[in-house]
Amino acid sequence: MSVASHVQELRKKHQNLSDAVERAQRQPGTDDLTLTEMKREKLRLKEEIARLSH
């Protein structure tokens, strides 16, 4: 897998996670711990994308 395709795959995962976070925030019964874990993973993906892009 090339770096470019790996970054593209990470961007897709980041977008999917972003959508999931938005959906979870709109649901009244969402667990705060789950939401925090999702946001951490989203940030980890963003940092990895930035690291590989430069």
**φ, ψ (nearest 5 deg) of residue 31:** -70, 130
State the Cα–Cα distance between residues 15 and 8, nearest whole angstrom.
11
pTM of the model: 0.87
List the chain domain ranges: 3-53
Tens digits of per-residue pLDDT, 25-52? 999 888 999 999 999 999 999 999 999 9
Q: What is the pLDDT of residues 8-26, one digit of tens each?
A: 999 999 999 999 999 999 9
Calpha distance 10→43 (Å, rounded)? 11
